[in-house]
A and B are shown apart, each in its own frame.
Chain A
Amino acid sequence: MKKRVALSLLLIVALALTSAHLFAGGASETSGPVKIRVGTMPNHIGVPIQYAAEKGLYKEAGLDVEVILFPTGAPINEALSAGKIDLAGSGMASVFALASGDTYWLGDYVKTVAGLGVYVRPDSPVLKEKGKFPGNPNVYGSKETVKGMVILGALGTSDQFEAVAWAQGFGLTGNDFQMLNMDRGPAVQAFKMGEGDAIACGGPPYNYELEAAGFVLAAGLTEVSGMDIADGMLGRKKFIDANTEEVEKFVEITYSVIDELFDSDEMLADYAMGFYNKNGKNYTTEMMKGEIKDKDYIGRKTISSPEYRFGSTMVGMGGFYVTDGKIEPELEKNIFASLRPDFLEKIYGIKITNFTN
């Protein structure tokens, strides 16, 4: 009898232990400050968030922030959708999260000036064609040379967007070439080994690696999309609606890092390089210099200017993906509805205009 009781107790304990993680996701409502789980990436997007967390800036403001790093934006979306993170600093994959209607866009904070685009081998037939891309004579390629290509890259990220934007310029769609899904590091290795016809580059440091290997940028993203490419902050509606004050503090601190600390390139370079290399990348000072040239952090100065339009990248890309069939047309309105400039308006005490197309 005793044995049986002991056995059932053991069973219950085992069950509790093994199923604990199932409920961990939802159970953040405990006493003390609300825990904010923030997903981001070990690249330029993650730098301000990681910096603020590491230097204890969030804690000083009374926030309990946990930073979780992901390799690309696609798993960040999955984590948001599953409620495993509350806020995120993420790239273009965010547009899918916004289209879902479950998230808010809180603001862009880093703009890509160069470094994103599709690279090809020097002997690629694509390079024999130039000037056929409407609106930008510097883009290589033509309808015939792009059609049927195998392009390496990470699905659901800016990689795919680059390739699709390039193909669309020639009147093709995302279904006219083949996207071979790989994470960015392995994709570069595979491309060097002769796989695929082109590679959609996920930005620094991969563009430096590709250029060093002698590959040629056939289509830069800003050239083919005609858009500002800006990464930023988003979060789950439910969480933000329930914790407006904390989220506002979080946004404020993150932007203050950009406004006050990242004014100095040396300081940014120093910190960023340490952060990247701790996360398995091999940045040289040279590469870091290149990256600082290619990426501009956006703060009070840019946002206060009268030309600034809130959410331009997300809205622009949303339209793009609707045309391409990656986002259902009836969901496009969710992207407009997701724009929340009011946090930045309050923080900076200014009026911000949303982007419209």
Chain B
Amino acid sequence: MNRKLFLHLLISILSVIAFVGIWHLFTAVLRVVSVNTLPDPMKVFTSFIKKFSNPNPDGATLLQHTAASLQVALTGYFYALIIGIPLGIMMAWNKYIDRFVRPLFDLLKPIPGVAWIPLMIVIFGLGIASKAAVVFFSAVVPCVLNSYTGIKQTKDVHLWVARTFGASHHQKLFTIAIPTALPHILTGVRVALGAAWVAIVAAELLGATRGLGFMIQQSRGIYRTDIIIVGMLAIGICGGILTSILTIISNFLLKGRR
């Protein structure tokens, strides 16, 4: 490891230590607020470890909640990808489709995913479908927008090259436009993942029986701030892991371009 990298790592670690340190100071040492309002880091840490095996007070262990959230989030996210990316590509590639879809898309785009919750519960009931639909609406917008922008980056001269090689319209889309758009599409895929993960937590605050958002909601009003923070940590950690997986995948797909 070179020295600069080491220094950067050190600074990052220091920031975390400083944060936890201040937290510890204001809770365990100075006790500015009651332990029920804000538990100290050690208490949260032990609750976190305990929650792996202890279903109390919300009926399921941390892994069960995480699995439930992941299942719903990934379902909605998956549909957002397989619908949003092709839709964005088609809108950018074919102006008739663009004209047809755009007014509707522009109307729905600014509606935040969580605003769909009540309607989705009425339509799909309280099961996985309504929550997955909320995730879908949150994640589909960045997929469409980024795919669209990506296709629009296609250089005319690349399309001319393809034409002089006798490529069909279809071939131009798949061998020129989509490869050009790939970095943008992958950005959309990453942004959508973040949006999906945010949406699932919001969706689970209502009408859920499992999941990290449910766990947090359960712990409200029963003086279990420690479990609330454990839930937040789990959400952060999962989101971080999923994002790094995507980063690895997209680095692989984009290798050689930089």
> Which residue of A100, A178, A180, A324 contacts B223 across the interface (Cβ within 8 Å)?
A100
> Which residue of B34, B57, B210, B220 contacts A78 across the interface (Cβ within 8 Å)?
B220
Contact A181 B57 (CB under 8 A): no
Q: What separation, in Å, do the CA atoms of A99 and B121 have in the docked complex?
A: 35
Contact B209 A326 (CB under 8 A): no
Q: What separation, in Å, do the CA atoms of A204 and B126 have in the docked complex?
A: 25
Contact A181 B55 (CB under 8 A): no
The closest CB in chain A to the CB of B47 belongs to A328
* B217 CB-CB contact with A under 8 Å: yes
Contacts of B59 in A (CB 8 A): 174-175, 178-179
* B78 CB-CB contact with A under 8 Å: no
Q: What separation, in Å, do the CA atoms of A195 and B126 have in the docked complex?
A: 7
* B56 CB-CB contact with A under 8 Å: yes
* A73 CB-CB contact with B under 8 Å: yes
Contact A81 B222 (CB under 8 A): no
* B125 CB-CB contact with A under 8 Å: yes
| CB within 8 Å for A155 and B209 given contacts A81-B37, A175-B55 | no
Nearest CB of chain B from residue A319's CB, rounded to whole Å: 15
* B206 CB-CB contact with A under 8 Å: yes
Contact A180 B36 (CB under 8 A): no
A37-76 near B? 1/0 per residue, CB < 8 Å? 0000000000000000000000000000000000011111
Contacts of B56 in A (CB 8 A): 175, 324-326
> Which residue of A74, A82, A178, A180 contacts B222 across the interface (Cβ within 8 Å)?
A74
* A102 CB-CB contact with B under 8 Å: yes
Contact B36 A181 (CB under 8 A): no
Contact A155 B218 (CB under 8 A): yes
Nearest CB of chain A from residue B231's CB, rounded to whole Å: 14
Q: What separation, in Å, do the CA atoms of A72 and B217 have in the docked complex?
A: 14
Q: What separation, in Å, do the CA atoms of A258 and B219 have in the docked complex?
A: 34
Contacts of B36 in A (CB 8 A): 81, 100-102
Q: What separation, in Å, do the CA atoms of A123 and B193 have in the docked complex?
A: 43
* A352 CB-CB contact with B under 8 Å: no
Total inter-chain residue pairs, C-beta < 8 Å? 85
Contact A82 B218 (CB under 8 A): no
Q: What separation, in Å, do the CA atoms of A152 and B83 have in the docked complex?
A: 33
> Which residue of B34, B54, B121, B208 contacts A181 across the interface (Cβ within 8 Å)?
B208
Interface of chain B, main secondary structure: loop
Nearest CB of chain B from residue A322's CB, rounded to whole Å: 10
* A201 CB-CB contact with B under 8 Å: no
Which residues from 23 to 43 on chain B have a C-beta closer than 8 Å to any C-beta of chain A? 34, 36-37
Contact A181 B222 (CB under 8 A): no
Contacts of B179 in A (CB 8 A): none
Which residues from 211 to 227 on chain B have a C-beta closer than 8 Å to any C-beta of chain A? 214, 217-218, 220-223, 225
Indicate the member of A83, A155, A175, A181 with the most B CB atoms within 10 Å. Answer: A181
Contact B55 A102 (CB under 8 A): no
Q: What separation, in Å, do the CA atoms of A77 and B224 have in the docked complex?
A: 11
Nearest CB of chain A from residue B234's CB, rounded to whole Å: 18
Contact A181 B217 (CB under 8 A): yes
Contacts of B57 in A (CB 8 A): 325-327
Q: What separation, in Å, do the CA atoms of A193 and B122 have in the docked complex?
A: 9
Contacts of A97 in B (CB 8 A): 223
Q: What separation, in Å, do the CA atoms of A101 and B209 have in the docked complex?
A: 29
Contacts of A83 in B (CB 8 A): 37
Nearest CB of chain A from residue B209's CB, rounded to whole Å: 4
Contact B126 A190 (CB under 8 A): yes
Nearest CB of chain A from residue B53's CB, rounded to whole Å: 12
> Which residue of A81, A179, A194, A326 contacts B34 across the interface (Cβ within 8 Å)?
A81
Nearest CB of chain B from residue A325's CB, rounded to whole Å: 3
The closest CB in chain B to the CB of A180 belongs to B209
A140-175 near B? 1/0 per residue, CB < 8 Å? 000000000010000110000000000000000011
| CB within 8 Å for A181 and B223 given contacts A175-B55, A325-B55 | no
* A93 CB-CB contact with B under 8 Å: yes
Q: What separation, in Å, do the CA atoms of A105 and B218 have in the docked complex?
A: 23
Contacts of A156 in B (CB 8 A): 218, 220-222
Q: What separation, in Å, do the CA atoms of A325 and B60 have in the docked complex?
A: 11
Which residues from 108 to 135 on chain A have a C-beta closer than 8 Å to any C-beta of chain B? none
Query: Top 3 A-B pairs ranked by shortest CB distance?
Result: A74-B221, A325-B56, A178-B209
Q: Mind listing 8 A-B residue pairs with CB under 8 Å?
A: A77-B222, A96-B223, A100-B34, A101-B36, A102-B36, A181-B207, A181-B208, A325-B55
Identify the B interface with A (CB < 8 A): 34, 36-37, 54-57, 59-60, 121, 125-126, 206-210, 214, 217-218, 220-223, 225
Not counting A93-B221, A195-B125, a sample of 13 additional A-B residue pairs whose C-beta atoms are within 8 angstroms of each other reads A74-B222, A81-B36, A93-B222, A96-B222, A96-B223, A155-B217, A155-B220, A175-B60, A178-B59, A180-B207, A182-B206, A190-B207, A325-B56
